[in-house]
Copies of this chain bind each other. A is one copy, B any other.
Amino acid sequence: MDEFAIIQRLFAPLAAGHQGALGLTDDAALIDGPGGTQWVVTADALVAGVHFLPDDPADLIARKLVRVNISDLAAKGATPMAVLLAVCFPSDVTEEWLERFAAGLKADCETFGVGLIGGDTVATPGPLTLAMTALGQVATGSAILRSNARSGHDIWVSGTIGDAVLGLAVAKGDDPPGLDAAARSFLLGRYRLPEPRAGLGRALVGLAKAGMDISDGLIGDLAHMCRASDVGAVVEAGKVPLSGAARRCGSAIAALLTGGDDYELLFTAEPGDAASIAAKGGEFGVGVTRIGRITDEKGVKVVDESGKPVALGPLGYRHFAGTGR
């Protein structure tokens, strides 16, 4: 079983009857808040050597932790409010490292306007492990869910796709050929410090019909959205927005469309709302690009300009892939 099978077969039954759990198929859960609001609640775990490199700067690790959680809230259209942090430090962690970690945490709690309201601090004999729970608020019923994609919707993404998977290669010293220092630095930054689209996400409430953030790779995540909505999708590979640095890498488009850690918004909308969505992107200084269409036919197809299928490898990062269990 990969983690999706674990969640669906073993954990989802524990969510049955709890409406706000959304069947464990969304980025976050919903619980009632005060006066016409709902809390959007999400939890993410990051492990050294899996989600970040053990030698990454401590402040950037903390900031990435905040940002991947804020990204989930942004995808639901929620206003970030608070976080809880459960942190398992290796017992040999130094005071200097801790101070740098806390400084990064502070910087991004301020950037995104969230308070640290609780958590747990323990030692581990294993790698640094971080679990954050983030709480945001939406007007009741206005959260942008994964399950509302409908045939005929346009498919949109924010920002550019595939930078982070290239940045990971840079971080590992496995630089794609032909990159100058500026491009390397840009890609590395996109891997280490995602830019959650909190302002844009809130502004898309009412315009975006279905939404999620891209964390495990564009096409794999789109497939999750399609399953949650019981629809399919066609993506035009040539329309997927790439950064200048990514274009210079000359990597196969498949690697960019299936690489993880983008933390951009993936959402659907009525074709008639395209101009309004483009205007929202402009307002927040974030590119927004139409890359395809939701279809009745199930599955996700990626096509080139002539409509021919583009071959893709495995869709999306899987933590337990290939174990045969």
Contact = CB atoms under 8 A, between A and B. Distances in A.
Interface in A113-165: 115-127, 129, 131, 133, 135
A50 interface: yes
Contact of A86 (B31, B43, B125): B43
Contacts of A43: 84-86, 118-120, 131, 133
A323 B118 contact: no
A95 B323 CA distance: 11
Contact of A126 (B41, B106, B119, B125): B125
Contact of A49 (B17, B99, B125, B127): B125
Most buried by B among A28, A127, A131, A323: A131
Nearest to A46: B122
Contact of A14 (B46, B105, B121): B105
B11 A102 contact: yes
Contact of A32 (B20, B33, B42, B320): B33
Interface residue range, chain A: 35 or more
Given A45-B88, A84-B29, A15 B126 contact: no
A169 interface: no
Contacts of A319: 89, 91, 121-123
A91 B323 contact: yes
A1 interface: yes
A121 B39 contact: no
Interface string A62-95: 0000000000000000000110111111011111
Interface in A8-66: 10-11, 13-15, 17-18, 20-21, 24, 28-29, 31-35, 39, 41-47, 49-51
A194 to B, nearest CB: 16
B115 A21 contact: yes
Interface string A264-306: 0000000000000000000000000000000000000000000
A41 B43 CA distance: 13
Given A3-B122, A29-B118, A127-B124, A95 B15 contact: no
12 contacts: A15-B116, A21-B118, A31-B135, A34-B35, A43-B119, A45-B87, A45-B122, A50-B125, A86-B131, A94-B325, A123-B319, A129-B129
